Structure 1
Amino acid sequence: MRDFGRKFVVACLLAGTAALPLVGATPSVVQAQEISGFAQAVAETAAANPALGAFYAERSYQPIWTTAEAAPRRAAFFAALDQAGAHGLPVARYGAEDLRNRFATIETERERGQLEAAVSLAYLAWARDISSGALEPQKIDAGIVREIIRPDPVALLNGLLNAPVPAHYLRGLAPHTPQYANLLRARLHLAEQIADGGWGAPVPAKRLGPGDTGAAVVALRDRMMAMGYMGRSISGSYDAALQKAVQSYQFDLGMKADGVAGEATMAEINTAPEERLKSVLVALERARWLNGRDLGQRHIWVNITDFTARIFDDGKMTFESVTVVGQNRSDRRTPEFSDEMELMVINPSWSVPRSITVKEYLPMMQRNPGAAGHIQLVDSRGRTVSRGSVDFSAYNARNFPFAMRQPPSSGNALGLVKFLFPNKYNIYLHDTPSKSLFQRDVRAFSHGCIRVGRPFDLAYALLAKQVDNPEDYFQSILRTGAETRVPLDKPVPVHLVYFTAWPNAQGRIEYRHDVYGRDGALYSALEKAGVALAPLTN
């Protein structure tokens, strides 16, 4: 009898029947009891998400998943769930297998109501994750202060409900940038390579260069071929082809591209594909955090891990400079967020942050009142105070009543120009007198702000949109030596990002070091949420 009932219920569902017969009841009682049972089950299950409960209440608990008419929508959603792993999402979170099994075994209207709401809950979880990310990053790293634009649950439900082609609507929820598509391809390619055994054994050498021969060179050659940097070769020597391959690899990793596999280059070459895949999975998540945000037709892109600042106009890079970012210390790491650059200050003074004043300069002045004499001591009314009139030993970090300011000069800590996008983190881009640091490979030395290697050129690029001769205009102000604020006629979006894997203009993935350890923490969180390292399919 149970098997018959199950088959009958499924047949009713597939036929679009809304209610099931109850033995011994009149038709009106049957309808009232069963509609009530379905609606109550939907309401109880949907209570886990208030927006979902309100959605169903607004439509008098009409189903959107569990009727014959909903079959195309249902099929499209389950097909999307089958691809969740390809996007680096936590597949188990959505419970696709359990939902499929429940569709095959429901027997009562209450079970149908519970399943109806359960599918909607799974849909909202998946849609939220694929459109704006599966993690809450600030809970993982306090330096990720990016505002994530989360989709409205009711809009997600109505959008799918009203979509002429459900599959098209669902595909449109993921980021549709070329970079995201390239990352997806990289994830698939890496997963395939890992399944086929990876890139072979690590190269057993610390350094190899042109002219070298032997087994280690052969291992290097084979690994460069496996990684796609070199065509097929049977050469056993470090020849021109191998040197060119190593040089291309170094360029993609932001290293000095000399074609010599030195110790640093060899360490990168010997990095396992599994580690590269982790970077790609985190990059996919980070890309989803930016989804829904208009980056700007013109915008500034500062990749912290790459130590670069770039201007993009209509998707094309029109300016690039090396940068120095915050030190890898808890109070100095450059945060991740987006804002709008509103102005530049030429010949800036430096108002020393309170934390630097009391943590660094106050102890120095307690030992020697004349220490850091190039920086002025300023009272609460903005007046310069003589060092000789202050007993620094009488103060500590809590009660020190003075501020510190460095007047405009070529030796000013901010250099000769700073670029402001006012934010509560007191982060901005600026020039610096410490030019030698730009020659380093790893450039994490600041207190958190971004030092720009080509600050004047950045100023010219920004001013070019509003003055005829930006260089002459800038230099004429610079020559005055006076602190001058120059507003931008149109604010420019600024995005401080942290990608250790990101496609270049040709679509090839470039990798960078996890300078603050943020990606390691994010990958651990993704893994804990249920993201699998390298599933080819779900």
Structure 2
Amino acid sequence: MIKNVKSIVISFILALFTLPVTVIAEETFQTEVQSRLDSLTEDTSYLKIDSQIIYSSPIITKLYQSNGYQLIWNNKLIPVLRKEILKLQDDGLNPDDYWLPSIDILLNKQQQGLLDISSSVDLDLLLSENFFRAYYNLLIGKVDPEALDKNFNFSQPFDRKDIRPKLIALLEDGKVEEILKQARPTHKRYDSLKNVLARYREYQNTGSWVTIQSGKTLRLGDKNTRISQVRAQLITTNDYIGTTENPELFDVELKTAVKHFQERHELDNDGVIGAKTLAEMNVSVEQRIDQLRINLERQRWYYHKLKGEFIAVDIAGFHVYWMKDNKLFWEAKSQVGKQFTQTPVFKDVIRYIDFNPTWTIPAGIKRRSILPNLKKDPEYLVKKGYLLLTMDGKEVDSTSIDWKSLNHIPYIIRQPAGPNNALGLVKFMFPNKHAVYLHDTNNKNYFSRTSRSFSAGCVRVDKPFDFAERLLADQDGWNREKIDAVIASGKTTRVNLKKPIKIVIGYSTAFIRDGNVFFRNDIYNRDSKLLTALNGPFKVRAQDRQN
């Protein structure tokens, strides 16, 4: 009997010391997490772990509240998240932004049983921040485009209140990979550009990128040791397909490959390797990798907005595209703004078309060009055929003004409609603060140039009447015959679109087309600032703080 009582007492004491351990640990973890999150105030809205700021504190708070402040990241989910973070390099992002070294130190301690409650909470919070940071960067990009360009007006919204329930539910189901996949742009061009980045990193790792020695211009029929270097490089870049018995001979197959390379790099595709072509061939693989990373970031800005039907202007690519459900419907060459009159990046909606348009000269052109010319020659406007009007539209004799006494032009200057009008015979209007639109031009010869930055900021479109005909295809009576008749009348005629169409004016220096990667010159010198920000520390956009 005494022996049985002793056994019961011993069992009770053992239970007292063993059973509560797990309960106390769970409660202590929960208490520690809740205590930290409850400490957040309007003045201290982000948690900090050492020097690391938990920018996702608001949504993390909701996440832990929803699961009773329990552990989020178990031994099954942690390897999945770690693998996904490493894969961000394929998107052109830097895994170092996601604190893997700090997390790995804590994971090693955890495996050795050396983590106390505070450090366990640190680890779980860091992993949560890690996940939401990756989601944020994939959804809207790492770099805030509006911080680089005040004209940018189509950032992807990140409304935490809207996405919280969905994200939390998926995360609680352990669907880490699925969530991050959904955050990426779904356009196939994004995936294709990722594949090219992987290929160029392979070139870098294997040392297969060739530097071609400088020397004289190379052309068909030449025989030179440098030609074998050219051939090797074009094989690497998938421009040359075939074999040759004489790698030092510039044969027809090599000329075809050179022309293909030139087309992809915005060069005159004459099949001759001159200074410009050689310079493009000798751009380092590291520079190309950066260029691909930069444009993957731009696609994270753009592609969430580019869905359905829209017009896309690629400034650096000098092209206009009409897309319908990810398929190219129509395209044309374009001319864009010069370096000092850059075409802005923004989105809008084309609402109407003006045939036989007049041109009201913008203030900037009046200041930079018109007034200096008038000071030299008071008859400048008369010779150009421009009208000088008061602000209420009354015509003024421009030769009666003492232009030398003025430092600005307090008048409207307008070019009448006609074949010599700077806007040509048709313009496509989406009224905006930049006074930028698409239009025909009387400088059509510039469309034959490879690089086409000639305008004062507007976008000049090749094949404008074809474009107008397609835009008006669903409007009764508007066919090419009627368009030609309206043009022939010389009368300014406005036609409102029954179906206004979205237009996005963007800027890309690397993109995929027909399975090939195309590189473009950075005509406005925008890539370097974006690369600096992309390689810089993680930041939350101003519009997303405190949500």
TM over 0.5: yes
Question: Which position in structure 1 is the counterpart of 2:423?
Answer: 414
Question: Any conservation in 2 of the 1:343–1:488 contact (CA below 8 Å)?
Answer: yes
- Deviation per CA, 1:301-345: give whole Å up to 9, x if none: 21111111122233332322211110012xx11111222211111
Shift of 1:356: 1.4
1:284 to 296, 299, 319: 296
Question: Which position in structure 1 is the counterpart of 2:106?
Answer: 102
Question: Which position in structure 2 is the counterpart of 1:217?
Answer: 227
1:321 paired with 2:332, answer yes
2:25 to 16, 20, 38: 20
Matches within 5 A, 1:6-405: 19-20=24-25, 31=27, 35-44=30-39, 47-48=45-46, 52-53=57-58, 56=61, 60=65, 62=67, 66-67=71-72, 70-103=74-107, 104-105=109-110, 107-142=115-150, 145-163=152-170, 164=173, 165-230=175-240, 231-235=242-246, 236-293=248-305, 295-329=306-340, 332-373=341-382, 374-397=385-408, 400-405=409-414
Distance 1:99 1:480 in 2: 73
Describe the shift of the 1:238–1:51 C-alpha distance in structure 2 as closer, same or farther (beyond 3 A).
Answer: closer
1:482 paired with 2:477, answer no
Matched position secondary structure for 1:172: helix
Describe the shift of the 1:209–1:348 C-alpha distance in structure 2 as closer, same or farther (beyond 3 A).
Answer: same
Describe the shift of the 1:521–1:198 C-alpha distance in structure 2 as closer, same or farther (beyond 3 A).
Answer: farther
Shift of 1:156: 4.5
Question: Any conservation in 2 of the 1:429–1:451 contact (CA below 8 Å)?
Answer: yes
Distance 2:493 2:500 in 1: 18
Task: Work out which structure has the larger RCO, using CA pairs closer than 8 Å and 6 or more positions apart in sequence.
Answer: 1
Describe the shift of the 1:281–1:59 C-alpha distance in structure 2 as closer, same or farther (beyond 3 A).
Answer: closer
Question: Any conservation in 2 of the 1:198–1:273 contact (CA below 8 Å)?
Answer: no
Distance 2:231 2:267 in 1: 19
Describe the shift of the 1:351–1:237 C-alpha distance in structure 2 as closer, same or farther (beyond 3 A).
Answer: same
Distance 2:103 2:517 in 1: 37
| Higher alpha-carbon deviation: 492-501 or 43-52 | 43-52
Matched position secondary structure for 1:83: helix
Shift of 1:249: 1.5
Matched position secondary structure for 1:306: coil
Question: Any conservation in 2 of the 1:326–1:447 contact (CA below 8 Å)?
Answer: yes
Question: Which position in structure 2 is the counterpart of 1:535?
Answer: none
| Higher alpha-carbon deviation: 335-344 or 200-209 | 200-209
Describe the shift of the 1:224–1:55 C-alpha distance in structure 2 as closer, same or farther (beyond 3 A).
Answer: closer
Shift of 1:224: 1.3
Shift of 1:72: 4.3
Shift of 1:59: 6.0
Matched position secondary structure for 1:299: strand
Distance 2:458 2:209 in 1: 39
| Higher alpha-carbon deviation: 415-424 or 150-159 | 150-159
Question: Which position in structure 2 is the counterpart of 1:496?
Answer: 505
- Deviation per CA, 1:97-126: give whole Å up to 9, x if none: 312433445744444444443333332222
Shift of 1:287: 0.4
Distance 1:465 1:195 in 2: 54
Q: Which amino acid aligns with 1:237?
A: L
Distance 2:466 2:184 in 1: 36
Matched position secondary structure for 2:270: coil
Shift of 1:244: 1.5
Question: Which position in structure 1 is the counterpart of 2:543?
Answer: none
Distance 1:346 1:325 in 2: 21
Question: Which position in structure 2 is the counterpart of 1:7?
Answer: none
Question: Any conservation in 2 of the 1:414–1:430 contact (CA below 8 Å)?
Answer: yes
Question: Any conservation in 1 of the 2:64–2:70 contact (CA below 8 Å)?
Answer: no
Distance 2:394 2:297 in 1: 49
Q: Which amino acid aligns with 2:417?
A: P
| Higher alpha-carbon deviation: 163-172 or 209-218 | 163-172
Matched position secondary structure for 1:528: coil
Describe the shift of the 1:221–1:175 C-alpha distance in structure 2 as closer, same or farther (beyond 3 A).
Answer: same
Which protein shows a greater Rg? 2
Question: Which position in structure 1 is the counterpart of 2:51?
Answer: none
TM-score by length of 1: 0.85
Describe the shift of the 1:57–1:284 C-alpha distance in structure 2 as closer, same or farther (beyond 3 A).
Answer: closer
Shift of 1:502: 0.4
Distance 1:290 1:436 in 2: 31
Describe the shift of the 1:204–1:356 C-alpha distance in structure 2 as closer, same or farther (beyond 3 A).
Answer: closer
| Higher alpha-carbon deviation: 81-90 or 232-241 | 232-241
Distance 1:175 1:16 in 2: 47
1:463 paired with 2:463, answer no
Distance 1:43 1:216 in 2: 69
Distance 1:306 1:261 in 2: 22
Shift of 1:525: 2.4
- Deviation per CA, 1:45-95: give whole Å up to 9, x if none: 793178743662686474678257x55444432221121222111322221
- Deviation per CA, 1:10-34: give whole Å up to 9, x if none: xx9xx9956428xxxxxxxxx5x76
Question: Which position in structure 1 is the counterpart of 2:529?
Answer: 521
Shift of 1:167: 1.7
Q: Which amino acid aligns with 1:194?
A: Q
Instruction: Give ranges in structure 1 of 5+ residues lacking alignment.
Output: 1-11, 22-30, 531-538
Question: Any conservation in 1 of the 2:441–2:461 contact (CA below 8 Å)?
Answer: yes
Instruction: Give ranges in structure 2 of 5+ residues lacking alignment.
Output: 1-17, 47-53, 539-547
1:508 to 508, 516, 524: 516
| Higher alpha-carbon deviation: 520-529 or 206-215 | 520-529
Distance 1:409 1:65 in 2: 74
Question: Any conservation in 2 of the 1:16–1:67 contact (CA below 8 Å)?
Answer: no
Question: Which position in structure 2 is the counterpart of 1:449?
Answer: 458
